């Protein structure tokens, strides 16, 4: 892994210890945020790390490790002002409010406004590989709009363009792996990437290993796989047949509606298949490997750990 560096303009007197560069992580109780905090502990002293969470009791372990923990809620600007006090570099974990019918962009706008008010030196936003104003994937539209807000904010910013989470491949296809048939619409290659590898890369960038203005290249694993590829991997791991069945989009939509899925969930699910077919998730890039100092975990190895 590249050695963490803090730019001189962000702390010109660090040698004299007259200023602590505070690295603030939002959403630190979530899977990604917690792993980023844990990785940061290996890179910088604990007294330079702060966690902003809705429920501080959920991260008692981080507080015990010496990380400053404060309550912060994207819907409450005052709580963010308190939680982010002293922030020089801020990791803004993207909101999942849309999953429950909320407005993530309103929350992101509040967060960006508070970051400006506090004179944060750089904001790191957890974006996604498909981020585009023309994406078929609804979350990617939110990421693109948030990146546009950051670009207009006057803040220095980095959009961490994550590959598609490997966990999602297992969650979306859990029934298929169990039944032996991955029945879904036509898809496309996806550069599945683990939370562990992404958290290590995000922590390195937050600590200053490298400075990237604007969107990063795709932070991804080294290979792209579609559902047929995942079926073959699962078949070898489980030692039983796993087949891939192509469903018509309308059939998938009807099945999801009949099962009582919410409109928001259906839009994300169908958008995923359309975006995958269009190649929105397929790109790979060596940056993640460079940042973490080793080859990213392969999807076959990840599945072997999780499916058995």
Tell me if residue 67 falls in helix, strand or coil. coil
pLDDT of 1 strictly over 70: no
pLDDT at position 2 over 50: no
Q: Where are the alpha helices (DSSP H) in 41-133?
A: 60-64, 77-83, 104-117
Looking at the predicted structure, is the pLDDT value of residue 4 above 50? Answer: no
Distance CA 125, CA 92 (A): 5
Pick the CATH number of 8-162+195-218+285-293 from 3.40.50.720, 3.30.565.10, 3.30.70.270, 3.20.20.80: 3.40.50.720
pLDDT of residue 19: 56
SS3 276: helix
Q: 82-124 pLDDT, tens per residue?
A: 999 999 999 999 998 887 778 999 999 999 999 999 999 999 9
> 10 Å Cβ neighbour count for 247?
16
| Per-residue pLDDT tens over the stretch 226-277 | 999 999 999 999 999 999 999 999 999 999 999 999 988 999 999 999 999 9
Distance separating alpha carbons of residues 152 and 260, to the nearest angstrom:
40
Query: Per-residue pLDDT for 183 more than 50?
Result: yes
CA distance 47 to 67: 6
Give bridge partners of residue 131 from the DSSP assignment. Answer: none
Predicted local distance difference test score (pLDDT) of residue 257: 95
For residue 12, pLDDT beyond 80 = no
pLDDT at 216: 98
User: Taking residues 280-286, what's their average pLDDT?
Assistant: 98
Query: What pLDDT, on the 0 to 100 scale, is given for residue 39?
Result: 98
Could you list the beta-strand ranges (E) of the chain. 22-26, 49-53, 68-71, 87-92, 122-128, 156-162, 181-184, 214-215, 243-246
In this structure, are residues 218 and 191 in contact, taking their beta carbons and an 8 Å threshold? yes
Are residues 189 and 225 in contact, defined by beta-carbon separation less than 8 angstroms?
yes
Q: What is the pLDDT of residue 7?
A: 39
Quickly count: other Cβ atoms within 10 Å of residue 7's Cβ.
Answer: 14
pLDDT 10s digits, 190-231: 999 999 999 999 999 999 999 999 999 999 999 999 999 999
CA-based max dimension of the chain? 65
Q: If you search the block for the tokens 């890179």, which residue do you land on?
A: 43
Q: Quick one: what percent of the chain has pLDDT higher than 70?
A: 94
Question: Of 84, 78, 87, 111, nearest to 97 (Cα)?
Answer: 111
Give residue 13's pLDDT.
32
Confidence (pTM): 0.92
Map out the domains of the chain as residue ranges.
8-162+195-218+285-293
Choose among 197, 182, 189: nearest CA to 245: 182
- State residue 5's pLDDT score: 38
């Amino acid at each position: 892994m590249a050695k963490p560096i803090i730019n001189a303009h962000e702390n010109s007197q660090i040698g004299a210890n007259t200023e602590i560069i505070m690295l603030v992580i939002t959403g630190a109780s979530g899977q990604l945020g917690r792993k980023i905090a844990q990785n940061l502990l290996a890179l910088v002293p604990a007294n330079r790390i702060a966690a902003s969470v809705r429920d501080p009791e959920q991260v008692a372990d981080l507080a015990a490790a010496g990380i400053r923990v404060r309550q912060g809620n994207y819907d409450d600007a005052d709580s963010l002002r308190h939680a982010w006090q002293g922030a020089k570099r801020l990791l803004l974990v993207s909101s999942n409010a849309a999953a429950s019918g909320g407005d993530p962009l309103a929350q992101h706008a509040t967060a960006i406004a508070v970051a400006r008010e506090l004179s944060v030196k750089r904001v790191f936003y957890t974006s996604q590989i498909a981020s585009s104003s023309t994406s078929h994937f609804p979350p990617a539209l939110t990421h693109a709009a948030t990146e546009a807000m950051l670009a207009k904010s006057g803040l220095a910013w980095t959009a961490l363009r994550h590959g598609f989470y490997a966990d999602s491949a297992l969650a979306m296809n859990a029934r298929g792996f169990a039944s032996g048939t991955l029945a879904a619409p036509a898809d496309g290659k996806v550069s599945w990437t683990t939370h562990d590898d992404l958290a290590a890369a995000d922590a390195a960038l937050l600590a200053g290993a490298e400075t990237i203005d604007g969107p990063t290249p795709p932070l991804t694993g080294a290979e792209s796989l579609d559902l047929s590829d995942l079926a073959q991997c699962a078949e070898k791991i489980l030692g039983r047949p796993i087949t891939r069945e192509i469903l018509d989009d309308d059939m998938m939509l009807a099945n999801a509606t009949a099962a009582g899925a919410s409109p928001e969930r259906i839009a994300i699910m169908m958008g995923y298949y359309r975006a995958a077919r269009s190649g929105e998730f397929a790109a790979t890039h060596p940056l993640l490997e460079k940042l973490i100092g080793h080859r990213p975990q392969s999807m076959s190895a990840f599945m072997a750990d999780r499916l058995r």
